[in-house]
């Protein structure tokens, strides 16, 4: 699955938006995984370059809490 910013839903599959413009951010983990576990951890989310600073400022929160705050901030900025 290609990277997709959870703040704005820009995807690496869109034209002129290559995947190297996305960064995965690790938030506070809320699940303990066994050593044999593989997959995408619940605390890792992709962000486009524009929204990366917002995400990096909230890494002490869970991914769910951070996503709520980022979306609230973006909604407030539009008002």
Residues 6+ apart with CB under 8 A from 24: 3, 44, 45, 46, 47
For residue 11, what pLDDT is reported? Answer: 67
Cα–Cα distance for residue pair 24/46, rounded to 1 Å: 4
For residue 44, what pLDDT is reported? Answer: 95
For residue 16, what pLDDT is reported? Answer: 57
What would the pLDDT profile of 14-70 be if each residue is shown by its tens digit?
A: 655 555 688 999 999 999 999 999 998 999 999 988 899 999 999 999 999 999 999
DSSP SS3 for 39:
coil
Residue 66 burial by Cβ neighbours in a 10 Å radius (0-12, 13-18, 19+): buried
Going by pLDDT thresholds of 50, 70 and 90, the confidence category of residue 77 is confident
């Amino acid at each position: 699955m290609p990277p997709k910013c959870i703040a704005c839903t820009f995807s690496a599959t869109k034209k002129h938006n290559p995947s190297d413009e996305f960064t995965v951010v690790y938030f506070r983990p809320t699940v303990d995984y066994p050593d044999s576990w593989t997959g995408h951890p619940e605390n890792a989310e992709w962000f486009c370059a524009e929204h990366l600073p917002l995400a990096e400022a909230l890494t002490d929160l869970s991914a769910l809490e951070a996503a709520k705050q980022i979306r609230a901030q973006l909604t407030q900025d539009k008002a």
